Structure 1
Amino acid sequence: MDQRASAPPALPAPLTWLDANARARREAGLRRSVRPRPAVDSQVRLDLAGNDYLGLSRHPAVIEAGVAALRTWGAGSTGSRLVTGSTELHAELEDALAAHTGFAAGLVFASGYAANLGVVTALVRAGDLVVSDERNHASIVDACRLSRAEVAIVPHLDLAAVDEALAYRSYRRALVVTDSVFSADGDLAPLAGLHAVARRHGAVLLVDEAHALGVVGPGGRGAAAAAGLAGEPDVIATVTLSKSLGSQGGAVLGPVEVRDHLIDTARTFIFDTGLAPAAAGAALGALRLLVADPGLAASSRARARELALLAGAPEPAAAVVSVVLGAPERAVAAAATCREHGVAVGCFRPPTVPPGTSRLRLSARADLTDGDVALFATALAAAGGGAAGASGTGGTGGPGAARA
């Protein structure tokens, strides 16, 4: 009798499941691709897809500020913020951001995503409670998960649900977190009401101002400032430097005590390489332009209203215009047609937005011309017109509901 062990059965390659997943996404119209853009795209005459809300990413003064920082400080920050990655330029940017938005102090992170991860995980942990809007950005969703706190996901813009979550759960500390302007829908959170509810229950309000800085409020100071909440002791904000400021990076704004706490405890601050000097310099240059020309914010909002009117979309609160079309295939086809007519638009599909609400997502800019608006009108007509009878705030669920 042959005593040799029989050969083990052949196992499938460990990543074969990826092919099946890709096939399922393709059949659902959800396959994505990375398309590197050239420095000058001969096909695109108008960019309504990026988040350059004030049109400053290519402004000569912003570019020169980045170049000057590059020459002065080098290409990289060379280390984490607590080692060699903090320069005088970072400190100047932090002070300028805090002064413009009305908060006591600021702390710059390598990205807006890192800012949200850092502040949430530093403020709450197991035994605490986070109340999060169902349509909050993925960075907030991931931060909630990593915090290990209990997370109550509430219906979109529902103050009563926030109140109930805080009233009927046990916790040591509580954090209410929301986008101020929601990135896919473009609508505005009821910040004054959220703050009143949070304060009544002894909770802190954290506001992600990514799509509000530079666009909402007097001089583009943000939605928290517009609601009279900037500088309140129980209000914290996060911002990105990659949208209205046309650069890269993020920051947390709030009381000095919060900044000190984050320096000691925020893992995405302590263990991440500091923001590159060129990005910090460019952001500071853009912020100076915004301070010098407060009308930029109003111009961006005015152009957004024009685009929304043409597309039959709800009036936007900021620069984001959401044109809901329904099926993902229709949104992809409409985006492709717009591009054929020289206009780049965003195309949002699940899981970024709820099922049945795939859409074109337009980003207005302060520097759009009447000719740009007319070009968009032509492209939109070729793509079959505007919204399919659904508003940007319709549907149920959302990014937070799907992933928190």
Structure 2
Amino acid sequence: MRLQDLSAALLELDASHRRRQRVSLESPQGVEIIIDGNEYLSFASNDYLGLADHPSLVRAVQQGVERWGVGSGAAHLLTGHSQAHQQAEEALARFVGREAALLFGSGYAANLAVITSLVGRGDAVFADRLNHASLNDGCLLSRADFQRFRHNDLDHLEQLLAGSSARTRLIAVDAVYSMDGDEAPLPELLALAERYDAWLYIDDAHGFGVLGQGRGSQAERDLSSERLIYMATLGKAAGLAGAFVAGSSLLVDWLVNRGRTYIFSTAQPPALAAAVSTSLRLIAEADDRRERLAQLVACCRRRLAGTAYSTGTSRTPIQPFIIGGDAHAMKLAQGLQQQGYWVPAIRPPTVPDNGARLRISLSALHDVQQLDTLLDRMLLLAES
């Protein structure tokens, strides 16, 4: 696109209510936030357990900075891989019950590394239609035959697998879908991977810390297989930043040698890696927080049952309030902001056309009364 075309294209986004704009957070992450000088009750963060500003985690990062400094200074394969990174990877592998783990700067980088290093020309990758954009980008960049199956449709996936003659096959899914909060049928997907000699790669960005007593979606379903590759992010329920991939030692060794976003990226700050053990301890001890989340989820599902605004299928902290039209969703979000609630509108291309929504993101730091009041106001504004 030429420079002179950018202004017109942005105006088109304005006209369709799809132009994104940033705001400046003036407070630590939490349920009570300050944006542009105004106070809001936030239902927009992925800090599901409320750990992002936990005193123990803050102290762990401070101690990590005192021990390791601020920046890592180099890629992992040069001098950027510190003892803090190594110990964090070992702790993460133990926590999710896999042989080895590898740290990445983001879940996006992890997804690109795994997919592009395992499949290429002549191979095939099969992806759920509602996968996160980073999974789709990894599939596209791999140059493998990229086939998308209908959301959670095992029969459709099996048809595609059966019709493929590719030497290497990879199935890529979100364990918990970020905009609907529903879950992939992981045991059935693993069975298909076994039957058709395929890898199963699961992105558990929104399940880690919440499901399986905090150990994630694979632990909740007691899944174990060398062909299962597990990725989770550390910037959501874990309260930190970055991501990790866990699997067999052989797989991790391959990623160290062929994962381009790992090889060619500066390592994440070692102070963050040094805080991973504290984060994992807090996650393991957070049964009361997960119980509070379960109560909030039950309240939200009960309040929205029978309305036109929710699918009612999510048992996770992601609760969609589906509006449909972009303009209506924006108007509802703005109306809530005027009343002190921060629940941004989610519009295409993040969600399908006519699928605009407010994504209610629950935290263990919310209470039921706060959620009840939000839902009262949302329902009133949506129907006005």
Identify the TM-score tier after normalising by the shorter chain: over 0.9
**Matched length:** 372
Matches within 5 A, 1:2-401: 14-39=2-27, 41=34, 43-217=38-212, 219-229=213-223, 231-312=224-305, 313=310, 314-384=312-382
Shift in CA distance, 346/96, structure 1 to aligned 2, threshold 3 Å: farther
- After TM superposition, give the deviation of residue 372 of structure 1 in Å: 2.3
Q: Is the 8 A contact 1:44 1:344 kept in 2?
A: no
Corresponding residue of 1:9: none
Q: Is the 8 A contact 1:126 1:150 kept in 2?
A: yes
Q: Is the 8 A contact 1:347 1:360 kept in 2?
A: yes
- After TM superposition, give the deviation of residue 135 of structure 1 in Å: 0.7
What percentage of residue pairs aligned between the two structures are identical? 35
Report the TM-score when normalising by structure 1.
0.88
Shift in CA distance, 34/186, structure 1 to aligned 2, threshold 3 Å: same
Distance in 2 of aligned mates of 1:79 and 1:380: 48
Between stretches 30-39 and 295-304, larger displacement belongs to 295-304
SS at match of 2:117: helix
Deviation string 1:109-146 (CA, Å, 9 cap, x unpaired) is: 01111011111111111111100001100110110011
Deviation string 1:209-254 (CA, Å, 9 cap, x unpaired) is: 000001112x12111111221x411100111000001111011011
Q: Which amino acid aligns with 2:254?
A: H
- After TM superposition, give the deviation of residue 19 of structure 1 in Å: 1.8
Q: Any stretches of 5+ residues in structure 1 without a counterpart?
A: 1-12, 387-404
Q: Is the 8 A contact 2:346 2:356 kept in 1?
A: yes
Q: Which amino acid aligns with 1:352?
A: T
Distance in 2 of aligned mates of 1:82 and 1:281: 19
Distance in 2 of aligned mates of 1:385 and 1:246: 36
Deviation string 1:287-329 (CA, Å, 9 cap, x unpaired) is: 2111123343333233223233334431423111111001011
SS at match of 2:344: strand
Q: Which amino acid aligns with 1:88?
A: Q
- After TM superposition, give the deviation of residue 382 of structure 1 in Å: 4.7
Q: Is the 8 A contact 2:299 2:368 kept in 1?
A: no
CA-based RMSD: 1.7
Distance in 2 of aligned mates of 1:88 and 1:299: 36
SS at match of 1:125: coil
Q: Which amino acid aligns with 1:113?
A: Y
SS at match of 1:68: helix
Q: Is the 8 A contact 1:181 1:317 kept in 2?
A: no
Q: Which amino acid aligns with 1:334?
A: L
Distance in 2 of aligned mates of 1:346 and 1:205: 33
Deviation string 1:31-75 (CA, Å, 9 cap, x unpaired) is: 111112212515334211010000000110011111111111111
Q: Which amino acid aligns with 1:19?
A: S
SS at match of 1:351: coil
SS at match of 2:232: strand
Q: Is the 8 A contact 2:84 2:271 kept in 1?
A: no
Structure label with greater radius of gyration: 1
Distance in 1 of aligned mates of 2:334 and 2:275: 32
Q: Any stretches of 5+ residues in structure 2 without a counterpart?
A: 28-32
Report the TM-score when normalising by structure 2.
0.93
SS at match of 2:170: strand
SS at match of 1:16: helix
Shift in CA distance, 315/201, structure 1 to aligned 2, threshold 3 Å: closer
Deviation string 1:150-183 (CA, Å, 9 cap, x unpaired) is: 1111111010111111111210100001000000
Shift in CA distance, 296/105, structure 1 to aligned 2, threshold 3 Å: farther
Q: Is the 8 A contact 1:328 1:358 kept in 2?
A: yes
SS at match of 1:242: coil
Shift in CA distance, 113/381, structure 1 to aligned 2, threshold 3 Å: same
Distance in 2 of aligned mates of 1:132 and 1:90: 31
Distance in 2 of aligned mates of 1:278 and 1:44: 31
- After TM superposition, give the deviation of residue 285 of structure 1 in Å: 2.0
Q: Is the 8 A contact 2:72 2:80 kept in 1?
A: yes
Distance in 2 of aligned mates of 1:22 and 1:80: 36
Distance in 2 of aligned mates of 1:209 and 1:385: 35
SS at match of 1:117: helix
- After TM superposition, give the deviation of residue 25 of structure 1 in Å: 1.4
